Amino acid sequence: MSNFYCIWVRTGLENKFIEKVQSLFDSVPDEQNGKLYCIGKQIRLRNGKEYIDPLIPGYIFWETDNISRIQDIKDEEGFIDFLPNDNGIKPLSARDTELVTSFLKYGSVIPVVNVQFDVNDRIVIVDGLFKGMEGFITDVNRSNKRINFEVTLMDGKRILSLSYQEIQKK
């Protein structure tokens, strides 16, 4: 199993950073330099338009067993640091790796999630990546059809925001 590392880059440069560094990695087919991911989320606006935003802005995940190309990453425009940034590069913990791989099971973009509301306005996600999750939801924005929920990543709490589509109970 490969290790995952977290790279902190300037917000807004995630995809550009991945394109440049991944092309450097892929230019040497003999080396197994790994794969870079920016986990995205599909956002649906009230007018029906959709776009993709980073799930955790500024975070890129590097799946690899070969960290010999660290300098290529550090030299790229937008690079800030490796996280957690305490004494050099180290792989994510088993719990953090499990969270990242669960995101990636559904591809690199998390789609709009289907949810149900009960009479107490408690929200339950009924399919996809967060199926069955209800206890960690911190906010529901009904006008924009977005939910915020809390996850623990690298020993810190992160609030993630996803678009939702409400479905009714039969």
E strands, the chain, are 3-9, 35-37, 40-44, 50-54, 59-64, 79-83, 109-110, 113-117, 123-125, 137-141, 146-153, 156-166
84 preceded by cis ω (within 30°)?
Answer: yes
Half-sphere exposure of 59 (CA within 13 A, CB side): 20
Per-residue model confidence as pLDDT tens digits over 40-87? 999 988 888 999 999 999 999 999 998 988 999 999 999 999 998 767
Degrees to nearest 5, angle at CA 30 with 14 and 7:
20
Q: Quick check: 8 and 86 in contact, CB under 8 A?
A: no
Instruction: Give the pLDDT score at 93.
Output: 92
Measured CA to CA, the distance from residue 148 to residue 159 in angstroms comes to 6
pTM over 0.85, yes/no: no
Mean pLDDT per 10-residue section of the chain, whose length is 170 residues? 92 96 89 91 87 94 92 94 83 92 86 72 73 75 82 83 72
